[in-house]
């Protein structure tokens, strides 16, 4: 299994990334789910996949009724990844959110697979460390893309030098 998968909710699939810990868990889950083509199979042929209420019911049974939802985990991840300093565009792409700017969405097909792979590994390491230590410590990104200086940066620097 590689670190790249396709998001099933999008036409043609949207490439995504997986941490090493996630790959190990998915391989274990495959052993549990058996010969099903789904990692989270449902009950019988009429329900081939897990119900959308399964996570909600599991959270209720664990005592988290009205405290946490399945979608709430996405909010927690987005918040912590932003707090750690990960790039907003990479987080949004990982969450499979569409670009709000229609022009950008029409022309920009970047997937940011390399930085997203590092980001998801950082996230898995953060969760492991939090579980191990019992403490919440933000981990800075292990990968940073330094943006090249563009024409607007050169003009801004020239204006700044004249003002000084």
* pTM metric for this prediction: 0.72
Domain ranges of the chain: 4-163
Residue among 55, 81, 95 at smallest CA distance from 140? 81
User: CB of 40 within 8 A of CB of 50?
Assistant: yes
Q: Which band of pLDDT confidence, cut at 50, 70 and 90, is reported for residue 108?
A: low
User: CB of 117 within 8 A of CB of 17?
Assistant: yes
Question: What pLDDT was estimated at residue 2?
Answer: 47
**What pLDDT, in 10s, does the model give residues 124-157?**
999 999 999 999 899 899 887 665 555 666 667 7
Q: Is the pLDDT of residue 57 over 90?
A: yes
């Amino acid at each position: 299994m590689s670190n790249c998968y396709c998001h099933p909710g999008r036409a043609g699939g949207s490439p995504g990334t997986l941490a090493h810990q996630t790959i190990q868990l998915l391989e274990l889950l495959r052993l549990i789910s058996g010969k099903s083509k789904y990692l989270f199979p449902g009950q019988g042929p009429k329900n081939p996949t897990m119900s959308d209420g399964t996570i909600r019911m599991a959270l209720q049974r664990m005592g988290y009724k009205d405290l946490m939802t399945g979608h709430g985990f996405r909010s927690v991840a987005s918040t912590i990844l932003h707090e750690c300093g990960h790039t907003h565009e990479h987080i949004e792409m990982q969450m499979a959110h569409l670009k709000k700017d229609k022009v950008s969405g029409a022309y920009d097909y970047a997937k940011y697979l390399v930085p997203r792979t590092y980001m998801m590994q950082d996230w898995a390491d953060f969760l492991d460390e939090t579980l191990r230590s019992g403490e919440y410590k933000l981990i800075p990104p292990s990968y940073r893309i330094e943006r090249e200086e563009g024409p607007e940066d050169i003009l801004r620097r020239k204006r700044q030098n004249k003002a000084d």
